[in-house]
């Protein structure tokens, strides 16, 4: 699966658990660390966990491995690393503080809406 398709698939999985402000940052041509960030928010630690768990479960069902995950201890910011796509699931105040969208301001931003 291409990294573009994977990023969009993950964004849709996040929406299944009512993630908010879902966006994909296209980092190709800006950095070599990854192709895409998928960024979204959940209002509570329970919702952040539900979004993360749903993404991991749905990817596993398709035989796609999450290589690394961080943040399950506090659930303010969960990071899922799939090498070509890195997923950031934030609580709103943590997302505002780190402001990855501004930090990577040169990236093309694709907003994902629930259909």
How many C-beta neighbours within 10 Å does residue 63 have? 6
Look at residue 115 and tell me whether its pLDDT is greater than 80. Answer: no
What's the mean per-residue pLDDT of the chain?
A: 96
**Alpha-carbon distance 58 to 7, whole Å?**
13
pLDDT band at 46 (very low <50, low <70, confident <90, very high): very high
Q: What is the pLDDT of residues 51-77, one digit of tens each?
A: 999 999 999 999 999 999 999 999 999
**What pLDDT shows up at residue 10?**
98
How many C-beta neighbours within 10 Å does residue 19 have? 28
Cβ contacts of 113 within 8 Å, gap of 6 or more: 22
DSSP string across 87-100: EEEE-HHHHHHH-H
Look at residue 30 and tell me whether its pLDDT is greater than 80. Answer: yes
**Alpha-carbon distance 51 to 78, whole Å?**
10
For the chain, list the domains and their CATH numbers: 3-112 (3.30.460.10)
What pTM does this model have? 0.95
Cβ contacts of 21 within 8 Å, gap of 6 or more: 39, 40, 41, 95
**What pLDDT shows up at residue 1?**
80
pLDDT band at 114 (very low <50, low <70, confident <90, very high): confident
Look at residue 84 and tell me whether its pLDDT is greater than 90. Answer: yes
Q: Can you tell me the mean pLDDT for 85-104?
A: 96
Q: Can you tell me the mean pLDDT for 84-104?
A: 96
Q: Which ranges constitute the DSSP H helices of the chain? A: 3-15, 45-61, 92-98, 100-103
């Amino acid at each position: 699966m291409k990294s573009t398709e994977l990023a969009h698939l993950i964004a849709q999985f996040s929406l299944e658990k009512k993630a908010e402000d879902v966006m994909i940052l296209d980092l190709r041509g800006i950095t070599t660390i990854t192709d895409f960030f998928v960024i979204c928010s959940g209002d509570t630690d329970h919702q952040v966990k539900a979004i993360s768990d749903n993404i991991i479960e749905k990817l596993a069902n398709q035989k796609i491995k999450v290589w690394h995950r961080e943040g399950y201890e506090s659930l303010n910011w969960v990071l899922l690393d799939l090498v070509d796509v890195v997923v950031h699931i934030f609580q709103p105040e943590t997302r505002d503080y780190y402001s990855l969208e501004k930090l990577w301001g040169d990236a093309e931003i694709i907003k994902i809406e629930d259909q």
